[in-house]
Amino acid sequence: MGSSALNQKSNFNARSNSLPSRPHPLIPQIDEHLRRLKSDESAASSSSITGKLSGLRDLYELVHSLLITQKSLAQNYNGNNELLLNGSLKLLDVCGLAKDVLLQAKEDTQQLQSSFRRRRSGDDAVFANEAKAYLASRKKANKLINKSLRDLKISKCVFADVDEPTCSMLRDVEGITFAVFESVFSYITATMPEPKSNNWSLVSKLMHSKRVTCEGRVSGTNEFERVNAMLCGLIGYKSKKCGDMSNENAVIELQKLETSIEDVEDGIECVLRLLIKTRVSILNILSH
């Protein structure tokens, strides 16, 4: 009788261990945040980028709350854990790149604002050189971004086994994080001018769908694009009156760009702290 009961208990334990574990109650919330971020197809403006970064911050807060309760990654160790750790390093690299590029962009913008404020009649040649330096810096940043992204080989990792809910969730979070940062880089790498001559007389054609008028009206969905378009338009102006009016409006556009850069910087800084916290949590789980 006792032997039969023992066998029944043993069989019960074997069946229980073979059943999938119940998903953590936070996972549905995480899935909902992932769904929202995946469905966000808004244009790459500062407001949309800061919104995505805010959503990413909320997502990682939930992920951290989940990870501090988990032991399954260590108990079910396999090659996926190495992929997760490598992925977290890539995310930190990408986040660091975004910070560096935005800092350079802000410094370039501040320098150009100073140039506009110092600009006087007859300084067109000097101003053109400073504007050209600004646009060259932006083009250099764009090349750096493209090269770095290729080197990091940002792509979806191929996991050996995604049956474990936490591992599967972390894979999805990694993927959406890369997607958000791709949006950030798309915002930064606004269409750049390709001047056909040294005197910049034809550079106003750089933006097919954007216009800069003497009244200072600038069309465009991206703060970087608007500044690029206005800059190239200003350099092409011959009328002193028109140039003076646009000069004042350009300062306003540059101030708006600087503010938008700072907003995105703040969002990235928050995400960076959470990325570090998440990596530490994963390492702690795997070390126990």
Residue 20 DSSP label: P
CA distance 148 to 135: 20
Alpha helices in 78-123 (DSSP H): 79-118
Q: Is residue 27 situated within a structural domain?
A: no
Domain-embedded: residue 238: yes
What are the pLDDT digits (tens) for 197-211?
443 333 333 333 344
Q: d(Cα 215, Cα 236) in Å, to the nearest integer? A: 15
Residue 5 resides in a domain? no
Residue 94 lies in a domain: yes
> 210, 217, 272, 220: which is closest to 242 by C-alpha?
217
The DSSP secondary-structure symbol of 21 reads: P
- The pLDDT score that the predictor gives to residue 257 is 95
Helix (H) or strand (E) holding 161: none
114 found inside a domain: yes
pLDDT (tens digit per residue) in 74-122? 555 556 677 778 888 989 999 999 999 999 999 999 999 888 877 765 5
Q: pTM for the whole thing?
A: 0.77
Cα–Cα distance, 114 to 107 (Å, whole number): 11
Q: Is 22 exposed, middle or buried (0-12, 13-18, 19+ CB in 10 A)?
A: exposed
| Tokens representing residue 49 in the block | 């980028």
Q: Is 26 exposed, middle or buried (0-12, 13-18, 19+ CB in 10 A)?
A: middle
Is residue 8 one of the residues assigned to a domain?
A: no
DSSP 8-state code for residue 221: S
Amino acid present at 94:
V
CA dist., res. 120 & res. 109, Å (int): 19
Burial, 149: exposed, middle or buried (Cβ in 10 Å; 0-12, 13-18, 19+)?
middle
- Examine residue 32 and state whether it is found in any structural domain, yes or no: no
For residue 21, tell me if it sits in a domain: no
Count the neighbouring beta carbons within 10 Å of the beta carbon of residue 20.
Answer: 8
Instruction: Between 170 and 266, name the one with better pLDDT.
Output: 266
Average pLDDT over residues 31-51: 87
Q: Higher model confidence: residue 18 or residue 83?
A: 83
Q: What is the pLDDT of residue 213?
A: 44
Specify the pLDDT at position 171: 86
Residues 6+ apart with CB under 8 A from 173: 30, 34, 59, 60, 63
Task: Give me the number of domains the chain comprises.
Answer: 1
Per the structure, the complete domain to which residue 146 belongs is given by 43-287
Share of residues in the chain with pLDDT > 70 (%) = 66
> With contact defined as beta carbons under 8 Å apart, do 60 and 271 qualify?
yes
97-107 in b/e form (b: 16+ CB < 10 A) is bbeebbebbbe
Beta strands in the chain (DSSP E): none
Using an 8 Å Cβ cutoff, are 170 and 63 in contact? Answer: yes
Q: How confident is the model at residue 132 (pLDDT cuts 50, 70, 90)?
A: confident
Output the pLDDT for position 85.
83
Does the structure show a pLDDT above 90 at 268?
yes
Show Cβ contacts of residue 76 under 8 Å, excluding neighbours closer than 6 positions.
Answer: 164, 167
Average pLDDT over residues 18-24: 52
Q: Which amino acid is residue 227, in one-letter code?
A: V
Q: How far apart are CA 261 and CA 49, in angstroms?
A: 10
